[in-house]
């Protein structure tokens, strides 16, 4: 079984940056075949996909709310997924989750109902 664990969350002021990481362990050979992505969920709101990346890392997708500020990347050799978040805004405050799926949405983002592996999440808090 594969486990995915996020790290890198924290508290920053608006305009600041954070880099989230997602490390996979266990039977990770199959992860190179998966689309990977990041979701976030704020209190009282639905979980939303914010970024997705193809198995080889050549296709990237972003939600409009983060486009131009967030960058997703992956290192298949180290079974690690990243999310570089720049120019953070208070509305980015949420718990961020790493996820893996075999089939993405047409946009390249991931659908919650198709997720095979979820991480436990890491909290990001942005103050104004």
Distance between CA 36 and CA 43 in Å, rounded? 24
Q: Are 58 and 74 in contact (CB under 8 A)?
A: no
Q: For every one of its 128 residues, what pLDDT tens digit does the chain have, with 9 covering 90 and above?
A: 788 999 999 999 999 999 999 998 887 666 788 999 999 999 999 999 999 999 999 999 999 999 999 999 999 988 999 999 999 999 999 999 999 999 999 999 999 999 999 999 999 999 99
7 torsion bin: left (phi>0), alpha (psi -120 to 50), beta (else): beta
For every residue of 58-76, DSSP letters joined together read: --EEE-TTTTTTEEEEEEG
**Which residue has tokens 């718990």?**
95
Q: Are 54 and 119 in contact (CB under 8 A)?
A: no
């Amino acid at each position: 079984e594969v486990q995915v664990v996020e790290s890198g969350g924290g508290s920053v002021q608006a305009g600041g940056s954070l880099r989230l990481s997602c490390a996979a362990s266990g039977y990770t050979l199959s992860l190179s075949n998966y689309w990977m992505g990041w979701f976030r969920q704020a209190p009282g709101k639905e979980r939303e996909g914010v970024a997705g990346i193809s198995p080889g890392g050549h296709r990237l997708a972003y939600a409009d709310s983060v486009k131009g500020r967030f960058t997703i990347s992956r290192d298949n050799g180290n079974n690690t997924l990243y999310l570089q978040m720049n120019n953070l805004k208070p509305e980015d405050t949420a718990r961020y989750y790493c996820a893996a799926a075999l089939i993405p949405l047409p946009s390249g983002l991931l659908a919650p109902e198709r997720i095979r592996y979820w991480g436990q999440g890491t909290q990001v808090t942005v103050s104004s």
